[in-house]
Amino acid sequence: MYSVLLVDDEKYAVRGLAAGVEWSSYGFETVYEAFDVAQAQEVVQRHAVDVAVLDIEMPGQSGLDLAEWLAETSPQTELLFLTGHANFAYAQHAMEVGAFRYLLKPVDYDELGGIIRQLAEKIRADRERLDYQSTYRKYYALWENQKPILVDRFWQDAAAGRIPARTERLEPMLRQYDIPLAADGRVRPVLISIEKWEMEFGARDEEIMEYAVRKAAEELVLNGDPGVVVGERSGSGLILFYLPGEGETAAEIPPEEAEGELTERCSSFIASCNEYFHCRLSCYVGQPVEVVALAGAYQTLLAAERDNVTATNSVMNAAEAEGCPDGAVPPPPFQEWAPLLETEDKEALAERVERYFRRLDQGRPTSEALQAYYFGFAHLMLEGSRRKGLPAPEVLSVWEAVAGAPPVKSLPALRNWSAQLVERHWAASPSGNGGHSPVIAKVIDYVKAHPEGELGREQLAATVFLNPAYLSRLFRKETGVSLTEFIQEVKLEHAMKLLAHSNLKVGSVAEAIGYTHFSYFAKIFKKASGLSPHEYRKRHRKLP
């Protein structure tokens, strides 16, 4: 609802306007009256006024003076002049101060009603526009604040293959997030793999340190070049350099020089993390790829990380295998398939194998190429069975499917053998692991069986023959919690049992589960149980 202020030194004129116009029918709930400029100013200072109907000539200050004051004090107030003087100078001045209309007395109330209706519509439209602008500014500010998180999520999804690798899908998303790339633009991925913390951190502190490592990568590895450092749920990070697409210009830097500079940046970054963040890590450097091919490049980096069980604290190149000439047989992408065995994604593996055979159908495979595929795929499945921790009888079942006559005489026979071997591998996988893969189930059982003493990622990784950083990533993906958090949870549960059922001193309980700093043990114990170790023992003591 709106309000109107009627200003005229003639009281009868004011009363006549108040009674002669059906203000409520136009949305005006309140009608204020004033008989000089001072009274009008007092009303405006006390109340919000949407429309002011002003006489011009009044004793003392005029309606034009009041209009100028309103323009500064209440600029949202609409002005309508009613005067008995057809003076052009008055009319011109009225327009200069922003009057909606200039009318001569006596005024026709029907005509005035139409003008009031127009004013009401204008006020409503202005309010809607202001509300929209206010809402837009509010959500635009929220969008700007959230955009780095959304960009991070976009690249996580693109790298994980959760976004279809199609130009028409990627192009609008790149524009939406203001990423300075086209869908045919290129990125160069570098995987950050945190291998070991040299200091003891709680789960929350570890997350903070991981964030610090990524910010250091942004400063030392990107070093001002276009790109982004993407966080991962498993800790680590992925550096993406934004590169020009086809037809775009770029600085003419010799490839070997650019490669050497990137290696130097990564080495400097690793040294800084060793010194300031108390961690050992490696950088796996990929080759430039189009945005649509990022998922495959990322899988190559993960495979390089997974298979690296010797070198640490180093920079490693994990170049993609180059394609074959037209008509030749493409090399099997076994490195991309291996993670699907770890993540128990049978359908995806079967689909990738079938896709490869469709490519073979279009080429000219030789007998040597089929034999190379046969031995490579057999090794992949047997190694996958071993990594999953399958018992000997189950591994033997898979081996029996491999040990027959090699089906390399024809492409259809090899394709059928591959499909059967995938089925045999999954049929041999044991169930009852709480929804976890055998390798993660083995890690869980090992941690529960060894709650005392020191227990770290490196030790656990050695029990399942995996790279520590890769094991951490796989553990979080399957369980939803970090390996560090799980180890801490099992140790604290064991500490609670010792406090309730043994005579060990509280300090000895802390040492028994591998905590050399009692204050840190007491802190995390109270956070987990709500009680200090001494309070917990008093409340839950079970000894006679």
Q: 94 with 121, same domain?
A: yes
Q: Which residue has the higher pLDDT, 393 or 125?
A: 125
Residue 326: is its pLDDT beyond 80? no
Cα 319 to Cα 316: distance, rounded to the nearest angstrom: 9
Any idea how long the chain is? 544
| pLDDT of the residue at 42 | 92
Class of residue 403 by CB neighbours under 10 A (exposed 0-12, middle 13-18, buried 19+): exposed
Which of 119-133, 203-217, 362-376, 496-510 comes out lowest in average pLDDT?
362-376
| pLDDT of the residue at 323 | 38
Taking the model in full, what pTM does it have? 0.51
Last residue of a domain, one of 320, 338, 365: 320
Q: 399 with 526, same domain?
A: no
Q: Which residue has the higher pLDDT, 326 or 178?
A: 178
Q: 66 with 99, same domain?
A: yes
Residue 404: is its pLDDT beyond 80? no
Residue 325: is its pLDDT beyond 50? no
Mean pLDDT of 500-510: 89
**Residue 355 within a domain:** yes
Give the distance, in angstroms, between the CA of residue 342 and the centroid of all CA atoms in the same chain: 25
Q: 302 with 369, same domain?
A: no
Q: Which of 285, 249, 250, 246 is nearest to 167 (CA)?
A: 246
**Residue 282 within a domain:** yes
Average pLDDT over the chain, rounded to whole? 81
Q: Which helix (H) or strand (E) holds 268?
A: helix 255-276
Residue 21's domain is classified under what CATH number? 3.40.50.2300
Mean pLDDT of 496-506: 89
Q: Which amino acid would we find at residue 201?
A: F
User: Among 291-295, 373-377, 490-494, which range has the highest average pLDDT?
Assistant: 490-494
Q: Which helix (H) or strand (E) holds 239?
A: strand 235-243
Q: Which residue has the higher pLDDT, 344 or 275?
A: 275
Give the chain's domain count.
4
Q: 183 with 37, same domain?
A: no
Residue 508's domain is classified under what CATH number? 1.10.10.60
**Residue 296 within a domain:** yes
Q: 289 with 266, same domain?
A: yes
For residue 211, how many other CB atoms are within 10 A of its CB?
13
Q: 300 with 400, same domain?
A: no
Mean pLDDT of 422-436: 65
Q: 183 with 259, same domain?
A: yes
Q: 347 with 315, same domain?
A: no
Contact between residue 535 and residue 474 where contact means Cβ atoms under 8 Å apart: no
**Residue 375 within a domain:** yes
Residue 328: is its pLDDT beyond 60? no
3-state secondary structure 101-150: EEEECCCCHHHHHHHHHHHHHHHHHHHHHHHHHHHHHHHHHHHHHHHHHH
Token pair 């990137």 in the structure block, residue? 262
pLDDT tens track for 5-21: 998 888 888 888 888 88
Mean pLDDT of 505-526: 89
Residue 501: is its pLDDT beyond 50? yes
Mean pLDDT of 512-524: 88
Give the distance, in angstroms, between the CA of residue 240 and the centroid of all CA atoms in the same chain: 15
Which domain does 308 fall in, by range? 161-246+254-320
**Residue 397 within a domain:** yes
Q: Which amino acid would we find at residue 84?
A: G
Mean pLDDT of 170-182: 87
**Residue 474 within a domain:** yes
Last residue of a domain, one of 385, 410, 430: 430
Q: Which helix (H) or strand (E) holds 424?
A: helix 411-428
**Residue 476 within a domain:** yes
pLDDT tens track for 449-487: 998 888 888 888 888 777 888 888 888 888 888 998 999
First vs last C-alpha separation in the chain: 78
Q: Is 163 helix (H, G, I), strand (E, B) or coil?
A: coil
Q: 404 with 474, same domain?
A: no
pLDDT tens track for 209-259: 888 999 999 999 998 899 999 987 565 788 888 886 554 444 444 455 678
Strand 28-34 to strand 2-7: parallel, antiparallel, or no bridges (unpaired)?
parallel
Cα 186 to Cα 181: distance, rounded to the nearest angstrom: 8
Cα 476 to Cα 500: distance, rounded to the nearest angstrom: 31
Q: Which of 336, 370, 376 is nearest to 352 (CA)?
A: 336
**Residue 133 within a domain:** no
Which of 55-59, 80-84, 248-252 comes out lowest in average pLDDT?
248-252
Which of 332-341, 386-395, 452-461 comes out lowest in average pLDDT?
386-395
How big is the CA angle at 160 (ends 204 and 296), to the nearest 5 degrees?
135
Contact between residue 151 and residue 181 where contact means Cβ atoms under 8 Å apart: no
